[in-house]
Amino acid sequence: MSVQKALVIGAGIGGLTTAIGLRQAGVDVKVFERRTEPSRLLTGGGFMLWHNAFVALRKLSLDDQVAKVSSEILVHEFRSDSGRTLARWQIGPEAQRIGAPAVALRRSDLNSLLLEEAGDSVVMGAQCVGFEQDAEGVTARFADGSVERADVLIGADGMRSAVRSTLRHGHDLPPRYAGYTAWQAIAELPGEDVVPSGTFFNLWGRNGLRFLYCRLNDREVYWDAITSDETSAAFDMFRKTKRDVMCETYAQWPDPIPRILAATREDAILPIDIADRPPTRDAAWGHGRVVLVGDAAHAMTLNLSQGAGQAIEDGVVLSGLLAREPDLGTAIAQYEKLRRERVEAMVRGAYRIGELGKWRGSLVCGARDLFMRAFFGTFAKKGTYRLMMNFDY
């Protein structure tokens, strides 16, 4: 029972990566996306792809293309809100050792590249509302009354996946809200003297505040302000703009953070309430002829910058197994066996890091800074790389 035809629900990073892998293996695949225009997919700010994502992309011969639209990160620097360096990770030597870079890029650039590679397999404006499966195949139903039938259905439709909900017969525990919001944007801010290329800056503050930023290219800087609920509850969002609130909140933080915020357009700022799916509350990722990838299977918080990377890994592993394994059930079971322990460790690790960022008092935050100075440059880096590079493709 080898896979001849596959349906992918969702044209995000995980869905497109899976579809590309299947197409390259000669499988007939269609991707169905509920949004009506490709331009509506090409939104969002920037993010990081670590070495493991590039190793996975290389399996699909996409690594060089992604490298061309991204900026390599050579240093990951942790600082306090006073500007003091807490830890400094040299990423360049690790990239040389692994043979793959870590980069920062626009989410829209990656989506655009994947959409182009997926080609005419993508169908826009098609909202999946359910499916039925039997011994011979699976049938997806869409909001316009149309249906599609195939050997396998892949749910890549995000944290609040319709495929996941149907797979669980309409009953699923909700995502776990992490207690903080990420305000993401890209600012027009040329000048290496303002934000140098090649360094990802990660600042930890008091009062449940963090701030991340890096240069994407010679014109643009990506930033991410993370605010705990206790802090953001006091934001006056009725009378002030998002930009004004961010400028006031981070006014006393070290340069260039106030300059980055001042250079940001109001309409560029996107607040995202961060949530995940804890492994202890999760069920299987697949059943019968239906399987989940990316956030539909294992949503995680942003703190390890691995959400996109793990979706890419899912797509590469699953498409490879579906293409070469003659038994569909065996392929899906093997996919989950290969992926689950690794992903669950990342979900737990990312959540724990986020909890540290919610601390508020000067004493506890000072203790956290001391801990970071003592351990983040050594043990934390080693542990992160051990987890990141512990894969089997």
Show me where the domains of the chain are located: 5-174+276-388
**Is CATH 3.50.50.60 correct for 5-174+276-388?**
yes
Q: What is the pTM of this model?
A: 0.96
Q: What is the pLDDT of residues 28-68, one digit of tens each?
A: 999 999 998 776 665 668 999 999 999 999 999 999 999 99
pLDDT the model gives residue 393: 76
Q: What is the pLDDT of residues 210-235, one digit of tens each?
A: 999 999 999 999 999 999 999 999 99
Residue 1 pLDDT greater than 50, yes or no: no
Other Cβ atoms less than 10 A from the Cβ of 134: the count is 9
pLDDT the model gives residue 280: 77
Q: What is the pLDDT of residues 159-215, one digit of tens each?
A: 999 999 999 998 989 999 999 999 999 999 999 999 999 999 999 999 999 999 999
pLDDT the model gives residue 209: 98
pLDDT the model gives residue 199: 98
CB-CB contact of 297 with 283 (8 Å): no
AA identity, residue 41: L
DSSP state of 174: P
Q: Quickly tell me which residue has 């299947």 as its tokens.
A: 22
- Model confidence at 148, pLDDT cuts 50, 70, 90, reads very high
Q: Tell me the pairing of strands 5-9 and 220-228.
A: unpaired
Q: What region does 299 belong to: left with phi over 0, alpha with psi -120 to 50, or beta? A: beta
Helix or strand run (H / E) with residue 15: helix 13-24
